[in-house]
Structures are given as C-alpha cells and as structure tokens.
C-alpha cells in the first residue's frame, strides 16, 4: 500500500499536537501534584479511557457522528494497548502504519 505524503500530513500534525499537549499536561501534573511519574501516567491512562468512552457514546445510535466510525470496545482497546506498547517499547522506531492489526479482519 502506497501512502501519499500529503495524506499523512494531517496525521503527523495531529500526532505532534497530541504529544505536545499531553507532555505539557503530564509535566504540569507531576510538578503541581508531587506525584511520581508513573502515578501521573496512570491518571493519564484513566483520562484517555474516559475520553474513549465519551467519543464512543457520541458515535452510537441514530444521532451519532456521521464520520463512519463504529466503536468496538474490545477491538478498540486492543488497538490502544498495542499502540501504547509499541510507542513505549525500547525500539520506538516502529511505524504503527506498518504493524498488522489484530482481531477480526
């Protein structure tokens, strides 16, 4: 599969924005709370789970978002775990777009 460089620009921009925003929130929370980094990362994970739950709720039912996403909690959470594991691994040079998705395909 060939990826158009221009098609990836919005994804790279969104990724950079998310990383910057989350890094800022993480550093602010560590400095303000005095909690250890792992405790703050657990809180960040809980916040991400809550955001997933809100986004999934907005995409269910007849009044859901027209974007076409149909939440599947089991598959979606597996995808999030995989992405977290890859990003946090020692070999962070792995490109998520090159990893084969698991699940019903």
The 10s digit of each residue's pLDDT in 26-80 is: 999 999 999 999 999 999 999 999 999 999 999 988 777 888 899 999 999 999 9
Rounded CA separation 35/75 (Å)? 32
CB atoms within 10 A of CB 79: 16
pLDDT of residue 105: 41
Q: Which domain holds residue 21?
A: 11-86
Angular region, 103: left φ>0, alpha ψ -120 to 50, beta rest: left
Domain membership of residue 98 (yes or no) is no
Is the pLDDT at 88 greater than 50? The verdict is: yes
pLDDT of residue 91: 63
pTM: 0.72
Number of domains in the chain: 1
Rounded CA separation 22/16 (Å)? 10
Domain membership of residue 26 (yes or no) is yes
Domain membership of residue 100 (yes or no) is no
- Residue with the bigger pLDDT between 50 and 93: it is 50
Domain membership of residue 17 (yes or no) is yes
């Amino acid at each position: 599969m060939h990826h158009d460089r221009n098609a990836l620009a919005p994804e790279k921009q969104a990724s950079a924005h998310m990383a910057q925003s989350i890094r800022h929130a993480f550093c602010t929370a560590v400095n303000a709370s005095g909690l250890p980094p792992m405790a703050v990362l657990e809180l960040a994970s809980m916040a991400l789970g809550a955001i997933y739950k809100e986004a999934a709720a907005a995409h269910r039912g007849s009044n859901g978002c027209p974007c076409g996403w149909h939440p599947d909690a089991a598959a979606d959470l597996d995808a999030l775990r995989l992405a977290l594991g890859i990003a946090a691994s020692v070999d962070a040079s792995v490109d998520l777009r090159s990893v084969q998705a698991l699940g019903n395909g």
